[in-house]
Structure 1
Amino acid sequence: MKVAVVGLGVLGASAARALTLAGAEVTVFEREAPLAGTSGTSFAWVNSHSKNPRAYHDLNVAGMAEHAALAEDPGPNRPWLAQTGNLEWAADGTGIERLSAAVAELRARDYPVEWISPRRARELAPDLRVPDTDIAFFPTEGHLNPALLMARLWGEARANGARLRRAEVTAIGESGGKASLELADGIHEADAVVMAAGRWTEALSTTTGHRVPVADPEAPGSATVGLLGYTAPVPTRLNLVLTTPVLNVRPEGGGRLVVQGLDLDADADPADPPSVGGEHAAELCRRLGDLLAGAADARLESLRVGQRSVPADGLTVAGFLDQGSRIYALCTHSGITLAPLLGRLAAQEVVTGSPAEQLHGFRPQRLVGAGDLPPLRPARFAGQQ
């Protein structure tokens, strides 16, 4: 079976890997470079934290388990996943009420979470400056390095025969039992195509006659955009994720940290990215110094505007667009958490035709033909993404 994959972010790489493992002959089409889209500008927090409704929560829990299973046999690859946990606390009464409700909901779902003391939190993160308040610890959550995950997924796909073509796919169609991809130099035919085009999903799916609406990835200050700061190496001890009232932080490797201030995302604009010497960078560094001992002299090496891939209702899209089961769409805001799982399930459905029950509530038909949906609410509080 010949399958084309459009897009080489973590979703496309995962689909390519799983398809080759299932025996398919795979060609991946990428117009720029691996990780050139959303995957390269992600906070990369692996979790099922404040993800509703319940089916979406369960899907993300399964995604976390898929990562853990993949990491049990890393082979010669550098570890990409750190399931070292997440610490979260609140700063005021409203925040405490919100966090307490979230913890209660997650406990009711048997999601691992416990309240710990500031002293225990400092045992987990010795340089942490934490207020005298109860702290929620999520031990099974973690973070990953997108480039190292890509190396694992795409490396194995290549080893299994997947090929890469540097080309832009401008349209996708289906006729005569085949999928067709329109390129600048002609038409490529395949038995099926998997669209993993991220924030370009709406434009590309429209060419198929089955438009999948996504939230506008260019809208300043919206739910789809956010600022991510990448520090130079910092001599501070941190090996887990922090989601705090003023700053989200995770390790990046080599002593570097990724920092995010959700309230500052209101100023994020892809058309006007801020400078590493500007006020937003200075504020992120100030907050980091207040949060972690050893980080007082932190500086940013880059400050990026991340553009998220978010279907218009905020939930994952996974399934065939056409009745002939030739054009398969993948799009999700939770790509980092879900990539290995969605890649495997998509390959199952494409190669065998056997439906994946876990994807039942996430088919694209719920959005195809839908009118304008209300804008998604931006994440502005600790624990939101």
Structure 2
Amino acid sequence: MKVAVVGLGVLGASVARSLAVAGASVTVLERSEPLAGTSGTTFAWVNSHGKNPLPYHQLNVAGMHEHAVLARSVSGQPAWYHRTGNLEWAGDEEGAERLARSVAQLRDRDYPVQWLTPGAARELVPDLRVPPGVRYVAYYPTEGYVLPPLLVARLWGEARDAGAELLCPAHVVAVTERGDGVRLALADGGEVRADAVVLAAGRWSDAVASSAGHRVPLADPDVAGSATVGFLGWTTPVAARLDRVLTTPNLNVRPDGGGRLVVQGLDLDADADPARPPTPDGEHARTLLTRLAALIDGTDGARLTSLRVGQRALPADGLPVCGFLGERHRVYALVSHSGITLGPLLGRLAAQEILREEPSDLLADFRPQRWDGVDPAELPALRPARLAGQQ
């Protein structure tokens, strides 16, 4: 079976790998470069933390397990997955009550979480500065983070080993379903023919789907201060001991290899605007660095090498879109805000559905058919993540 995959981010690389390893002839079409979309500007936190409703939580738990299995399957490759846990606390009484409710819900779902004292938290992160008023810290031991370039290298490398080919740059401008398959028209006048196509083009997926007469309703990725946009900063190497994720009231932090850190202040995202890229030495950068120095010893004097506005591929109801568009089973859509957590799992499940026609129960609540008869414009706007643990 010949399958075309549009997009070489985490989802595209994952489904290409699973398809190729299963014996399909795979061609990936990337319009600019790997990781050019959301996969290159993501906090990359692997979790099922505040993921509701329950089927979405369960899907993310399965995604976490898939990462662990994939990480164990091959040795001698760069460590892209770090299951080192996450620490979180609240900044005021209202936040403490909200965190307690979240922890209680996760415990009811048998999700690993425990309360630590600030002293115990500092045993895990020796350079951590917990504010004086914090009495308890929530610890999620099975969470972690991914280094996206290394994950894509692993997935795409194995896809390539199994015979997958990459066309890059290859800008897909239209998809046409035919009786014997699909035709992908390219901006340069070329074309690719296949038996089926997987749309893993992130925030561009709806535009490609529309050319085939389908829709993948997405929240607008260009609206300043909305749920789809947010700042991410990358620091210079720092002499700080941090090997896990921190989600705190003022700052989210994770390692990024080589002593560098990724920092995020969710409240600052209200100012994020793709049309106005920030500078790594501007007001928001200075705020992030001040918060970092207050949170972790050894980060005084750090600078940001990059401060970007990430644009999330966010379906209009906030939940993943996974499945065939239309009745011909020629065009398969794969779009999710939780692309890092879900990537390896969704790639495997999508390949099974395409090649074996075996529908996955895990994906039953996330089919594109839920949009039938629904006007996305009538849905309430998605609420931006502004508080710790909401990412």
Q: Which residue of 2 aligns with 1:244?
A: 248
Structure-1 separation of matches of 2:149 and 2:167: 20
1:177 aligns with 2:180: yes
Q: C-alpha displacement at 1:81, in angstroms?
A: 0.5
Q: Which residue of 2 aligns with 1:377?
A: 383
Structure 1, residues 170-199: CA drift from partner, whole Å, max 9, x if none? 111212131111113233211110000100
1:234 aligns with 2:231: no
Conserved 8 A contact 1:81-1:143: yes
Structure-2 separation of matches of 1:263 and 1:311: 22
Q: Which residue of 2 aligns with 1:45?
A: 45
Aligned length: 385
Which of 320, 328, 331 is the equivalent residue of 2:332? 328
The code of the aligned residue for 1:347 comes to: A
Which of 148, 152, 155 is the equivalent residue of 1:153? 155
- For residues 176-215 of structure 1, what are the structure 2 equivalents within 5 Å? 176-184=179-187, 185-215=189-219
- For residues 265-276 of structure 1, what are the structure 2 equivalents within 5 Å? 265-276=269-280
Structure-1 separation of matches of 2:11 and 2:30: 12
Q: Which residue of 1 aligns with 2:227?
A: 223
Conserved 8 A contact 1:46-1:141: yes
Structure-2 separation of matches of 1:212 and 1:227: 25
Structure-2 separation of matches of 1:117 and 1:368: 49
In structure 2, list runs of 5 or more residues that go unmatched: none
Partner SS, residue 156 of structure 2: helix
Q: Which residue of 1 aligns with 2:144?
A: 142
The code of the aligned residue for 1:379 comes to: A
Q: Which residue of 1 aligns with 2:55?
A: 55
- For residues 344-355 of structure 1, what are the structure 2 equivalents within 5 Å? 344-355=348-359
Q: Which residue of 2 aligns with 1:359?
A: 363
Structure-2 separation of matches of 1:346 and 1:67: 16
Q: Which residue of 1 aligns with 2:115?
A: 115
Q: Which residue of 2 aligns with 1:127?
A: 127
The code of the aligned residue for 2:390 comes to: Q
Structure-2 separation of matches of 1:302 and 1:258: 10
The code of the aligned residue for 2:27 comes to: T
Structure 1, residues 306-356: CA drift from partner, whole Å, max 9, x if none? 000000000000000021111000000000000000000000000111111
Structure-1 separation of matches of 2:174 and 2:269: 33
Q: Single out whichever of 170-179 and 46-55 deviates more from structure 2.
A: 170-179
After superposition, the CA RMSD in angstroms is 0.9
Structure-2 separation of matches of 1:375 and 1:257: 32
The code of the aligned residue for 1:297 comes to: G
Q: Single out whichever of 363-372 and 340-349 deviates more from structure 2.
A: 363-372
Partner SS, residue 294 of structure 2: helix
Structure 1, residues 127-173: CA drift from partner, whole Å, max 9, x if none? 00003410000000000100000110000001110000121111112
Structure-1 separation of matches of 2:128 and 2:242: 8
Partner SS, residue 73 of structure 2: coil
TM-score, normalization: structure 2? 0.97
In structure 1, list runs of 5 or more residues that go unmatched: none
Partner SS, residue 166 of structure 2: strand
1:296 aligns with 2:290: no
Q: Which residue of 2 aligns with 1:99?
A: 99
Q: C-alpha displacement at 1:374, in angstroms?
A: 1.5
Conserved 8 A contact 1:177-1:324: no
What percent identity do the matched residue pairs reach? 64
TM-score, normalization: structure 1? 0.99
Structure-2 separation of matches of 1:150 and 1:75: 16
Q: C-alpha displacement at 1:75, in angstroms?
A: 3.0
Partner SS, residue 4 of structure 1: strand
Q: Which residue of 2 aligns with 1:3?
A: 3
Partner SS, residue 112 of structure 1: coil
Structure 1, residues 261-309: CA drift from partner, whole Å, max 9, x if none? 0000000001101111100000000000000111121110100100000
Conserved 8 A contact 1:315-1:333: yes
Q: C-alpha displacement at 1:206, in angstroms?
A: 1.1
Conserved 8 A contact 1:211-1:368: no
The code of the aligned residue for 2:387 comes to: F
Which of 338, 341, 365 is the equivalent residue of 2:342? 338
Structure-2 separation of matches of 1:147 and 1:84: 19
Structure-2 separation of matches of 1:357 and 1:81: 26
Partner SS, residue 253 of structure 1: coil
Conserved 8 A contact 1:177-1:326: no
Q: C-alpha displacement at 1:369, in angstroms?
A: 5.1
Partner SS, residue 110 of structure 1: coil
The code of the aligned residue for 1:281 comes to: A
Q: C-alpha displacement at 1:119, in angstroms?
A: 0.6
Conserved 8 A contact 1:275-1:281: yes
The code of the aligned residue for 1:13 comes to: A
The code of the aligned residue for 1:266 comes to: A
Structure 1, residues 57-111: CA drift from partner, whole Å, max 9, x if none? 0000000000000001233320100000000000111100110000000000000
Q: C-alpha displacement at 1:368, in angstroms?
A: 4.8
